Amino acid sequence: MVDSTPEKAISSPLLEIKLFIPRPRAGLVARPRLIERLNQASAGKLTLVSAPAGFGKTTLLAEWLATAKPGKQRVAWLALDQSDNDPAFFWSYVIAALQTVQGDLGQSTLALLQSLQPLPVETVLARLLNEVGGLAQRIVLMLDDYHLITAQLVHQGIAFLLDHLPPQLHVVIAGRVDPPLPLSRLRGRAELAELRAADLRFTADESAAFLNEVMGLHLPARDVAALEARTEGWVTGLQLAALSVQGREDIGGFITAFTGDDRYIIDYLVEEVLQRQSEDVRSFLLQTAILHRLSGPLCNAVTGRETGQAMLETLERANLFVVPLDDKRRWYRYHQLFADVLKARSREEQPDRALALHWHASEWFARNGQPTEAIHHALAAGDFERVASLIELVARATVRKSNQSARLLEWLKLVPDDLIRARPVLSTYYAFALLGMGETDAAAVRLNEAERWLDESRGEPASGVDDSVATRDRAGASPLTMVVADRAEFRSLPGTIALARSFQAQALGDVAGTLEHARRALNLLPEDDHVWRGGAALLLALAHWTSGDLEAAQQTHAVGIASLDKAGDIALAISAAYDAADLAKARGLLSAAGRICGQALQLALEHGNPALPGMADLHLGLSDLCCERNDLEAATRHLQQSEQPGKHADLRETPYRRCIAWARLRQARGDLEGAIDLLDEAERLHVPGVVPDIHPIAAQKARMWIAQGRVSEAVDWVRQQGLSADDDLTYMREFGHITLARILLAQGDDRSMDKVRRLLERLLDAAEQGGRTGSSIETLVLQALVHRVRGDIPAGLVPLERALTLAEAEGYVRMFVNEGEPMRDLLRHASDRGISGAHARRLLAAFNERAPHPVSAPAGLIVADLAELLTVREVEILRLIAAGMRNQEIADELVISLSTVKRHIANTYGKLGVSHRTEAVARLTS
């Protein structure tokens, strides 16, 4: 099977072409005035060389590099094309270019690009910039033909790169149009140098040197001046004119014969050049015009000759717009303007041959392991049967990469639907791609079509690559014939379809369907298909998790990770370790959760890659464990480690998870308002994932409101959720129902106490049956508090003793301490009676060590009545306003959103009866 993933592309034959640094041809006109400007420009961040086609941008840059002093700076060159609009491919190639200068540079960043989960571009580039910043020598990164990049995500990445560019890196962008980058900002900061068409035009002296010395025309000054005037110093126009002039007697008459705009001149001059070539050369040019890149063997395949390499070398020597793409002269390309005219001429003169030429090109690229090019030419050839088969051969490798589903769909939308429906393997992977884009209904249609073929064929084609079974299409009107290009995939197709069905059920929230299809996939998939078996096991684990069977979930999750480990997918195995630790915590196994996180961190170090996706989340998991055990300093250290720029890679979920972890820490330190702000930010950043959301952020906020005494707001949340003490209990709503129990407890009236007593009994029974020790401990703690509210301390010590017994071995602390004074009172009674003596005393000591961290303000700023009027967070924000900070700076300082800052400021102004900053600060100092 052919793989078209970024890491494969990095090792492809195209890599040498894309990274080749052009060498200036001997005898070219020296342009010292421009070389000096480029030398001066390299001191800044960005050099932009922007001009229309044919102005010699690439040639000038090659000349500049050739004249540089050895050892002053090293160059990483990347020639771009349309296929580089995929961000994963683009940045993989950028790293490959940088590695031509520093062999191991960016290896950890490549691992992020190859992650199954798409990562924010800032996460990927932060790691790369961190590595570049550690280099001793300066690098110039050349991005040639940048006008071919249209993807906004790539532009955003380049903008981020430029904003955070270390002094060890200078970027040069060459293209036909200005890129959509923050050029004005860079220009205003004197970080941008620009060379444009007006700068690149040949002067009169340069035109004379080119025409007479390089092209050997020996023209009189008046003819040189006329050509320079006609072409306005446009390099390609001069070259085409020179080729047309060679061998003519009436040069003056020819020069006056053409005029007009660039397009007209190009058409006119190329036609002149073509007419002056031999029939052999002219035929070769027109036949190979369809190729983006040319090599001798490829040209032979397209033209049917054996003279491809010799012809390319001949064209280069004749200055016929052939550009070498490597030092060994194996690969070339035509100048783009020349190629455009050649293609147009080829379509006019031999319209019937174009399809055959593309077909031969496709066949050559497929045979030489370049599937993307093969598919491109097959599409151009209109051979959709071939397109479908080629796509089928790379379908699995493509859908395995989360950022490649869109590419597969783009290809398939160009293929007639009947051809797809006739291919069960292709239909199945079409379904996978659709599932990756959230199109579950369309995916189901494709899976139904694939399964229908299995029913007809009863398992496997008899022989050959395109073995067939006839059936009728959806309307029953015309027969279709089954086609299989990938026989190995067809043999395992029942298991693959079951896996896709399980993905679909999981996406729809169908737990029973997920379980059924995942089990079927494990039964049907080959034992050595570690990747898909690992995926099936993880889906099974998620279904068990969602249904509350945590022991089964952890067992199958471990099987899935082990399978992925066998497949060599370390990145996914590590990113899934956070979920495994979460499962262990839900079961009350804090020590096991810590071991899982620690082992995953060690695994990454052993593989020499401490920046794999999920590493930051592992530190978040360890922070959560340390916080529960009341080691707040260690919890803080892990949180800070998780957010070190460039050191760890964020998953999509990492930013909101980080906010939740900081909120827990703020709560532990007594800053409930700060915790709520962080939970607000977590809600803003939240992205849904495949892992069950068993601790909804809104429920966590409701708990903070209860702790603040804002019970009415928590009651409003209950109404919005439609929660009731008489609901049927499910694991997915367990956290919400325990939160409801806390609200009923806070209300404290007899009716509420009766409800909470019955609800807690049911919750405890469900948690114990599901092996959810964490939930059991919390429920027992609340039962103890209910008895205390009723004045029955002895009855309260019974569930408290059970809770302490369960909690002691794993070191639970915050589960008790966060309950405040009512729990301290119960623990004193427990200690006096010798109940869980050692652990009860440790918890009481933790109460005594409790050190809320109120915001300190400059002396004289906060008067007593004002401190009572405002919340801690409002005072903190007011202090920063007094220090002269803008709203965004306050948000950055406090790690909250700008909208949250504005909300606090509005509340503060309302409480103080003021309308702007000056009045507010005056109130503080009065």
Q: Give me the residue label for tokens 């007639």.
A: 416
Average the pLDDT over 675-704 and give the result: 88
State residue 920's pLDDT score. Answer: 73
Q: Is the per-residue pLDDT at 846 higher than 60? A: yes
C-beta separation of 165 from 140 below 8 A: no
- Give the CA distances from residue 826 to residues 14, 789, 846, in Å, rounded to whole numbers and listed in that order: 72, 11, 14
Q: Which residues contact 69 (CB under 8 A, 6 or more apart)?
A: none
Which sign does the torsion angle of CA 309, 332, 363, 12 carry?
A: positive
State residue 13's pLDDT score. Answer: 56
Q: What percent of the chain has pLDDT over 70?
A: 84
Q: How confident is the model at residue 115 (pLDDT cuts 50, 70, 90)?
A: low
If you write DSSP's letter for every residue of 306-329 in order, what string do you get? S-HHHHHHHHHHTTSSEEE-STTS
CA distance 508 to 444: 12
C-beta separation of 176 from 146 below 8 A: no
Q: Is the per-residue pLDDT at 454 higher than 90? A: no
State residue 800's pLDDT score. Answer: 95
> Quick check: pTM over 0.75?
no
C-beta separation of 123 from 160 below 8 A: no
Cα angle 402-133-634, degrees, rounded to a multiple of 5: 75
Q: Give me the residue label for tokens 């950022």.
A: 403
Q: Provide the residue type at 761 as one letter.
A: E
- Give the CA distances from residue 732 to residues 550, 706, 716, 721, 729, in Å, rounded to whole numbers and listed in that order: 12, 22, 20, 13, 9
Q: How confident is the model at residue 573 (pLDDT cuts 50, 70, 90)?
A: confident
Q: Which of 46-50, 191-195, 315-319, 351-355 has the lowest mean pLDDT?
A: 315-319
Decide which of 806 and 216 is more confident: 806
Average the pLDDT over 788-806 and give the result: 93
Q: Give me the residue label for tokens 């990747």.
A: 531
C-beta separation of 628 from 590 below 8 A: yes
Q: How confident is the model at residue 328 (pLDDT cuts 50, 70, 90)?
A: confident
Q: How confident is the model at residue 24 (pLDDT cuts 50, 70, 90)?
A: low
Decide which of 679 and 644 is more confident: 679
Q: How confident is the model at residue 778 (pLDDT cuts 50, 70, 90)?
A: very high
Q: What percent of the chain has pLDDT over 90?
A: 33
Coil, strand or helix at 536 = helix
State residue 466's pLDDT score. Answer: 44
CA distance 694 to 772: 12
Q: How confident is the model at residue 700 (pLDDT cuts 50, 70, 90)?
A: very high
> What is the phi-psi region of residue 598: left when phi exceeds 0, alpha when psi lies from -120 to 50, beta otherwise?
alpha
Coil, strand or helix at 412 = helix
Q: Is the per-residue pLDDT at 598 higher than 80? A: yes
Average the pLDDT over 159-178 and give the result: 90
CA distance 19 to 425: 36
State residue 463's pLDDT score. Answer: 35
Q: Give me the residue label for tokens 């400007």.
A: 37
Q: Is the per-residue pLDDT at 112 higher than 80? A: no
Q: Is the per-residue pLDDT at 647 higher than 70? A: no
Q: Which of 106-115, 281-290, 576-585 has the lowest mean pLDDT?
A: 106-115
pLDDT in tens, 876-894: 788 788 777 778 878 777 7
Q: Is the per-residue pLDDT at 236 higher than 90? A: no
Per the prediction, the chain carries an average pLDDT of 82
C-beta separation of 157 from 91 below 8 A: yes
Q: Is the per-residue pLDDT at 622 higher than 90? A: yes
- φ/ψ of residue 457, rounded to 5: -90, -15
- Give the CA distances from residue 493 to residues 3, 450, 712, 716, in Å, rounded to whole numbers and listed in that order: 19, 9, 56, 50
State residue 805's pLDDT score. Answer: 93
Give me Rg for the CA atoms of the chain.
35
CA distance 596 to 580: 7
CA distance 79 to 145: 6
Q: Provide the residue type at 888 as one letter.
A: Q
Tell me which DSSP letter residue 299 carries: H
Average the pLDDT over 459-464 and give the result: 40
State residue 51's pLDDT score. Answer: 83
pLDDT in tens, 126-143: 778 888 887 878 889 999
Q: Is the per-residue pLDDT at 749 higher than 60? A: yes
C-beta separation of 823 from 817 below 8 A: yes
Q: Give me the residue label for tokens 């609901």.
A: 727
Average the pLDDT over 25-40 and give the result: 75
% helix, strand, coil for the chain, step of 5:
65, 5, 30
Decide which of 165 and 690 is more confident: 165
Q: Which of 298-307, 444-453, 574-583, 694-703 has the lowest mean pLDDT?
A: 574-583
Which sign does the torsion angle of CA 742, 743, 747, 751 carry?
A: negative
pLDDT in tens, 242-256: 777 776 677 777 776
Q: Is the per-residue pLDDT at 767 higher than 60? A: yes
